[in-house]
Amino acid sequence: MIELMRSNDAVLISFVDALLNEADIPHFVADVHMSILDGSIGVLPRRVMVDGERIDQARRILREAELGHELS
């Protein structure tokens, strides 16, 4: 798995998750439960991890959604 992006913005992560689900790209959101450590204040970013064989397609989808600036 390769990191596609990381963000503290839960809405952005949810949107990217929906885009990747719609495109049927295998992925997972890492560090979702890290808020336990930071007291739920959102200091620790979540990472969207994508299967290495589909990373180029995932990056293209984010660029098409005008989220290219969010890519790792």
Condensed to tens digits (0 to 9), the pLDDT of residues 13-27 reads 999 999 999 999 999
Predicted structure pTM score: 0.84
How much is the CA Rg of the chain, to the nearest whole Å? Answer: 12
In terms of pLDDT, which residue wins out, 62 or 72? Answer: 62
Choose the CATH number for 2-70 among 2.120.10.70, 3.55.50.30, 3.40.50.720, 3.30.70.790: 3.30.70.790
CB 65 within 8 A of CB 20: no
**Tokens found for residue 44:** 């620790």
Condensed to tens digits (0 to 9), the pLDDT of residues 9-59 reads 889 999 999 999 999 999 999 987 765 565 556 568 899 999 999 999 999
